[in-house]
Amino acid sequence: MKRTLFTFAVVLFTTVAVVAQPRAIGGRLGYGVEASYQHGFGEANFLQLDAGLAGYGSAFQLTGTYNWIFATPEWGDYGKWEWFGGVGAGLGFGGGRFFAGVAGNIGLAFTFDFPLQLSVDYRPLLGPSFGDGNVSFNYIGVYSFGLGVRYAF
């Protein structure tokens, strides 16, 4: 009985902690089109997961970055500004080639008083590309500037 109560308490508190964190879902448009999800960890960090078509449809790409909010300037009374930066990884497939690499992320986001978040960022994905029996450098990620529009909840 004690074990059951303990398990129930752990599941309950874990669920409350996960649900209480800020999240956002939407899209990112730039050198491709991606679905985007952000999950906050406290006030200063968040995980961002993006999946979509990179290089104007030349490849399917998955990217995940862990980001730190390093500044929250007070540029107005009607929302919240955040400068952020982070690192992560990504992988993808396109044109008969598989690629993987290290991703960086730096940007600026604004969350309105209502549940809308706009962001602009630069997220390069650099690493090797494999296919046709040879290895080359993946350069598609160098052009990865993006505009994000997300529903924040």
CATH number, residue 50 = 2.40.160.20
In a domain, 1, yes or no: no
- Which tokens hold the place of 114? 């209502």
- What is the overall mean pLDDT for the chain? 87
Residue 8 located in a structural domain: no
Look at residue 87 and tell me if it is in a domain: yes
Residue with tokens 């986001």: 109
Residue 17 lies in a domain: no
Instruction: Specify whether the CB–CB gap between 115 and 151 falls below 8 A.
Output: yes
> How far is residue 8's CA from residue 128's CA, in Å, rounded to a whole number?
46
pTM comes to 0.83
Contact (CB, 8 A) for 146 and 29: yes
Q: What angle do CA 18, 20, 25 make, to 5 degrees?
A: 80
Q: How far apart are CA 18 and CA 22, in angstroms?
A: 9
- Give pLDDT tens digits along the chain (153 positions): 666 555 555 554 554 444 445 899 999 999 889 999 999 998 899 999 999 998 877 889 999 999 999 999 998 888 999 999 999 999 999 888 999 999 999 999 999 999 999 999 999 999 999 998 889 988 767 888 999 999 999
Q: Does the residue 14 lie in any domain?
A: no
R_g of the chain computed on alpha carbons: 18
**Domain contains 54:** yes
Which residue range forms the structural domain that includes residue 86?
A: 22-152
Number of structural domains, the chain?
1
Q: What is the dihedral of CA 14, 110, 70, 107, to 10 degrees?
A: 110
34 falls within a domain? yes
6 domain residue, yes or no: no
Q: Cα-Cα-Cα-Cα dihedral of 147, 150, 152, 153, to 10°?
A: -150
